Amino acid sequence: MKTPKKRVPELRFKGFDGDWEQRKLGELITEHSELVTGYHFPIATSARTGLFFQAEYFDKGRSDINEGVIFHVVPKNFVTYRHMSDDSIFHFNKNTFDTPVQVSREYPVFTNNDKVNLDFLVQNLNFSGSFLKFSKMQKRGGTRTRLYYKVLQQYRISVPEVDEQDEISGFMKKIDKTIALHERKLELMKVLKKAYLQQLFPKNGDKTPHLRFAGFSDDWEQRKSKIVFNSVTEKGHPNLPVVSVTQEKGIIFRKEMDRDLKFNKKNLGTYKVIHPNDFVISLRSFQGGFEVSKILGITSPAYTVFSFKYPNNHSISFWKFYFKKYNFVQMLKIVTYGIRDGRSISYADFASLSLTYPLKNEQEKIGKILEKVAVLIAADEHKLDILYELRRAYSQKLFV
């Protein structure tokens, strides 16, 4: 007779050895259906990265809220989640604020009973492979997956005794706390970068920046883009590697893309060559998609490629950040008005823009400090990726 497989996790804390019990989630949680009309508590949004006050999540809040809107109330330490997902992944958020909050009435709200540690439960639902399989099974066609509370109750979850739940929850909370600290550090670095971009470049109409390195006092020059840059159209090199222009990763080899983008190899002879230090205006240029290349390759002729007329007179780092600053992106909107997603602005449009810039030695100073901040941001992002993977790995081994 075959021995039944034990229901235990792969990794376990010392002192625990009993089988985990499988229960319907509805036996461990209780729905909270309190509704309010209008504004009584802070309005919150449940997202994959947490529960946020809506005024912070949408920067300046929402303008479509009035006294007739009905909300669900989420008391302190109760849980809510967005009930629809585009990819069958759902994220459960505990209200850790010092106040009840109100969320969309479409968001279910629930709490635990004395048979389960609420943090253990939330961690299990958010990170275990078992619940992900369950949520993917809820897709019934269409573009979105819906997970209503009555369906959530049917999920069969494996749980140990409460004291083991407490151990697992405490350990996972330490990882979450470390992640939160690094996320905050990364956010501060991004704020610093934004401040530098605002202070190290002149505001529109000004000829000098607010913050300046010692020894520089001359006005910055103002010239049309066509005075500084040349359009580049070099073709006929089909054997060079194909590259893609992305706003997330810059210019990368096509084979490094997360998705397989098809292209006709017979047309490679018409593709434009991109040399290191060439700039490319991406197909999302109206959102600030000016990228500088570190690699040699070829790309679709739909892209606009340009380079310095006099490379020895300019710093590549300075211009790389210049094209990312807020004022420049706003200026692009003037020449990109009405352009559809998927179409780049022309070089003629770019050539008509007025650029304000200093001499090369000051450009180098500015570029150097911004590069340092960018390196620190990249390092923090890498640390976070490692921590996210660590949390995922522990979640696979600590939960059944």
Alpha helix positions (H), the chain: 54-57, 118-127, 129-136, 149-152, 162-199, 225-228, 316-322, 326-335, 347-351, 360-398
Average pLDDT of the chain is 89
Task: For residues 286 and 391, state if they share a domain.
Answer: no
Residues 334, 377 within the same domain: no
Q: What is the pLDDT of residue 263?
A: 65
Structural domain harbouring 180: 163-203+359-400
Q: What is the pLDDT at residue 328? A: 87
User: Tell me, what CATH number does 59's domain have?
Assistant: 3.90.220
My answer on whether 35 and 58 are in the same domain is yes
- 3-state SS class at 292: strand
279 touches 291 (CB < 8 A): yes
From CA 109, how far away is CA 126, in angstroms rounded?
15
User: Would 13 be classed as within a structural domain?
Assistant: no
The C-alpha atoms of residue 29 and residue 3 are separated, in whole angstroms, by 32
CA 400 – CA 395 distance, rounded (Å): 9
CATH of the domain at 381: 1.10.287.1120
Same domain, 82 and 140: yes
Distance CA 197, CA 366 (A): 9
- 390 within a domain of the structure (yes/no): yes
What pLDDT, on a 0 to 100 scale, did the predictor assign at position 281?
Answer: 86
Whether residue 70 is found in the same domain as residue 98:
yes
SS3 51: strand
- 231 and 150 fall within a common domain: no
| 317 within domain boundaries | yes
CB atoms within 10 A of CB 214: 6
| Domain identity same for 142 and 173 | no
| pLDDT per position as a tens digit, 9-43 | 999 999 999 899 999 999 999 999 999 998 899 99
Buried b (16+ CB within 10 A) or exposed e, 292-304: bbeeebbbbeebb
Helices and strands, counts by H and E, the chain: 10, 23
Residue-level pLDDT at 284: 58
For residues 194 and 272, state if they share a domain. no
Residues 57 and 80 in one domain: yes
Q: 307 pairs with which residues across the strands?
A: 230
Pair 360, 314: CB distance under 8 Å: yes
Please, what is the end-to-end C-alpha distance for the chain in angstroms? 24
Residue 355, token pair as written in the block: 């650029």
Q: Is residue 16 part of a domain?
A: no
Whether residues 340 and 389 share a domain: the answer is no
pLDDT digits (tens, 9 = 90+) for 118-152: 999 999 999 998 999 999 998 877 788 999 999 99
Shared domain check, 339 and 287: yes
Residue 2 lies in a domain: no
Q: How far apart are CA 66 and CA 38, in angstroms?
A: 6
Q: Residue 37 falls within a domain, yes or no?
A: yes
Least confident of 38-42, 62-66, 331-335: 62-66
Cα–Cα distance for residue pair 162/21, rounded to 1 Å: 11
Crossing angle (nearest 10°) for helices 162-199 and 118-127: 60
Q: How many domains does the chain have?
A: 3
Average the pLDDT over 56-82 and give the result: 78
Which range is least confidently modeled, 255-264, 301-310, 388-397?
Answer: 255-264
> What pLDDT shows up at residue 1?
47
One domain, residues 238 and 263: yes
Residue pair 235/267 in contact (Cβ under 8 Å)? The answer is no
More confident residue, 261 or 132: 132
Residue 96, pLDDT above cutoff 80:
yes
**Is 259 a residue whose pLDDT tops 70?**
no
Residue 42 lies in a domain: yes
